Structure 1
Amino acid sequence: MTDGDEPGETGSTLPRRQLGRFLREARDGAGLTVEQAAGLMEWNKSTLSRLERGLTEKVRVRDVLGLCEVYGLDDEKTAAAKSLAEQTPAKSWWHAYADLIPAHSNLFVGLEAGAKSMTIFQPLIVPGLLQTADYARALDRIYFPADTASALDRRVELRAQRQNVILRQRHPAQALVVLQEAAVRTVVGDRRVMAAQLRHIADLSTRENVEVRLLPFRAGFPLGMPLPPFIIFRFAKDARGKLTEPTVVFAESFAGAMYFERQTEVELYREAFGKVQRATLDARPSRDLIREIAREFDNGR
């Protein structure tokens, strides 16, 4: 199945969209309307509006730097905006950890917050949207060994805030999650942490907007090879039935993450997820098995 309403494949729109989101937030922070900011730049309102919506195909770095000056951004934020502006011609976009783009302009968080639905495959670890605070802290303590206790707390708090996208009462995002059995049996923290984590997943899976399915060990590798963790982000449609943003696939590795927008690439991941999903347990048996494994952790088995 393909989406006939997907935007054209003229190059990656991700840096342009992220730059637009960044500049819009900076303008709001400066207390300026689109009209006021455009006037200070001696632009038409539509010029700034298109830039903020990621619709400007040829972004000029000097224009972005001019906006940063108008908004009173510090050197760090100006450097982040410049980095995004320089990457806008890219056909694809590799977003590496610890790159020039700081946490406050994180692309992944922006996609997650704006998505209408997320299709998630995780072979080894519980995804962030489903993690308990204790599970998250146990992971971060290892991954960020130089962090202070307060820094670790802030990381955990941020992850909890991100989870609001599926927990909010008004229009929560839909989440379809497939976990390989290894993700719910591999101990993170200790058995107590794991038991609580698995009960949390089971409870979340009773929500109408969250479906969790287990790929049991006995299912093997449905595609004949292991798959990396990935998420398919899908966005809402406008009044004309067109997607407000193109569907994006986020595929993760230790060194960084790749974002895919081209329909052929997105379709490959959709097909792969479909094959994996057909090999999973149904939602109810998955929840029952997750609760059973939680009891095993409780009992020290």
Structure 2
Amino acid sequence: MPSAYLRRRRLAAELRKIREERGWSVEAVAEKIFISESKITRLENAQLRPDLGDVMNILDLFEIEGNQYDRLAKLARTAAQKGWWDRYGMAMGPRQKIAADLESSAATIRSYHHTAMPGVLQSQEFLAALIELDRRQGPINYDPQRMAEALGYRQRELLRSDGPTYETVLDEYVIRRLDVPLEIMAAQLRHMAELVSAEERISVRVLPYDARVEGGFLPKSPFFLYTFMEPGDPPMALVETITTDLVLTQRREVKKYDDMYARLRKATLPPKSSLAFLNRVAKRLGEQT
């Protein structure tokens, strides 16, 4: 299924371009089609699922016809589609919803993590420990139980027969510094090792803390790189920050992260050595507890 999120972004850009080319303000459009200015602004920034009636009214207002009308109408319909994640509302958190949307139509996923384990490879026990860490920082804006259910669904989707290829670079700092109980970290490492061993499409490459990453600066944040099955969907990067995720689709920006991933990957342990590392550290952590 095409990514509704990507379709919303594409539709938003097209509608904003049409309005600006016609020389109309947001206020003028809102007045003409009887909706709020804020709704148009959010529509043009891909911050809401489009209302098909509103989109049709905008196309009629600007006298869009023929093939362009058909193309934008089809784009609006796919942008408005709901996925399994929508049944959770905001209970699973906005970040996990975007991740689930992008994973559903991805052909390949690559990621780099130095602050947490990749979400889709987390065990339920490890997720519970992360939620407890989150509580220590203040009130949470999601339902922990629903979050856990959604994570399980994401994992099943990743492992479906036509699921994407997934590779992650895991910085050793996560294992050494994340404040979760040692027995839970050990179990998480075993969980990942078992998952990777059972599924050829999934691989974890460990970046040792003493590895030198040649050729440029180090990444400042965790990030993901996606390619998609649908023709016309460009590669994209998603960069995690403390408060939100940044979605990048400009070719030049995505290439910077693509090049950075290649440099990081070159410094990692090979897949078999990474798997042995995970099992070895899990055993040591288990002995410490």
Answer yes or no: is 1:133 the counterpart of 2:121. Answer: no
Q: How far apart are residue 244 of structure 1 and its match?
A: 3.9
> Which amino acid in structure 2 is aligned with residue 13 of structure 1?
R
Q: Where does residue 265 of structure 1 map in the other structure?
A: 253
| Distance in 2 between residues matched to 1:107 and 1:15, nearest whole Å | 16
Match of 1:278 among 263, 266, 285: 266
Distance 1:105 1:133, change over 3 A: closer
Q: Are 2:11 and 2:75, in contact at CA under 8 Å, matched by a contact in 1?
A: no
Partners of 2:101 and 2:162 in 1: how far apart?
Answer: 17
CA contact (8 A) 1:135 1:188 kept: no
Aligned partners of 1:116 and 1:236 also within 8 Å:
yes
Corresponding residue SS for 1:116: strand
8 Å contact 1:21–1:52 — kept in the other structure?
A: no
- 2:10 equivalent in structure 1: 13
Give the Cα separation in 2 of the matches to 1:130 and 1:250.
17
Cα distance between partner residues in 1 of 2:254 and 2:122: 26
Q: What is the SS of the residue equivalent to 1:13? A: helix
Task: State the Cα distance separating 1:202 from its structure 2 match.
Answer: 0.7
CA distance in 2, matches of 1:20, 1:142: 29
- What is aligned with 2:108? 117
**Structure 1 counterpart of 2:143:** 151
Q: Say if 1:165 and 1:173, in contact at 8 Å, map to a contact too.
A: no
Q: Which has the higher helix share?
A: 2
Residue 200 of structure 1: aligned partner: 191
CA contact (8 A) 1:166 1:209 kept: no
Q: 1:51 aligns with which of 62, 65, 76?
A: 76
* Counterpart check, 1:289 vs 2:277: yes
Native 8 Å contact 2:115 2:178 kept in 1 = no
1:229/1:269 CA distance change after superposition, 3 Å: same
For residues 1-301 of structure 1, the aligned pairs below 5 Å read 13=10, 15=12, 22-23=49-50, 47-53=72-78, 103=94, 106-144=97-135, 145-146=138-139, 151-168=143-160, 170-206=161-197, 207-227=199-219, 228-237=221-230, 243-300=231-288
- Give the distance between the partners of 1:105 and 1:153, measured in 2 at CA: 14
Task: Check 1:192–1:246 CA distance in 2 against 1; reply closer, same or farther (3 A cut).
Answer: same
CA RMSD of aligned residues (A): 3.6
**In 1, Cα distance between equivalents of 2:96 and 2:284:** 41
Q: How many residues align?
A: 228
Please state how far the C-alpha of 1:171 moved relative to its aligned partner. Answer: 0.5
Contact in 1 for aligned 2:213/2:263 (Cα 8 Å): no
Q: Once the 2 structures are TM-superposed, how far is the Cα of residue 165 of structure 1 from its aligned partner?
A: 2.8
- Cα separation, partners in 2 of 1:193 and 1:264, compared to 1, 3 Å: same
- Provide the C-alpha distance between the structure 1 equivalents of 2:203 and 2:285, rounded to a whole number of angstroms: 23
Hey, what's the Cα distance between the residues in 1 that align with 2:247 and 2:215?
A: 21
Q: Does 182-191 or 120-129 show the bigger shift?
A: 182-191
Relative distance call for 1:118 and 1:156 in structure 2 (3 A) is same
| Uncovered stretches (5+) of structure 1, i.e. residues with no partner | 1-11, 28-33, 55-66, 68-76, 78-97, 238-242
For residues 264 and 53 of structure 1, the distance between their equivalents in structure 2, rounded to whole angstroms, comes to 27
Matched-pair contact (CA < 8 Å) for 1:184–1:290: no
Using structure 1 for the length normalisation, give the TM-score. 0.65
Q: Cα distance 1:105–1:130, how it changes in 2: closer, same or farther (>3 A)? A: closer
- Once residues 260 and 95 of structure 2 are traced to their aligned partners in structure 1, the CA distance between those partners, rounded to angstroms, is 32
**CA distance change for structure 1 residues 21 and 115 in 2, over 3 Å: closer, same or farther?**
farther
Structure 1 residues 289 and 200: CA distance shift in structure 2, 3 A: same
Report the residue type matching 2:228 in the other structure: F
Task: Give the 3 Å change call, closer, same or farther, for CA 160–186 of structure 1 in structure 2.
Answer: farther
Distance 1:135 1:165 in 2: 19
Structure 2 unmatched ranges of 5 or more: 1-8, 15-42, 81-85
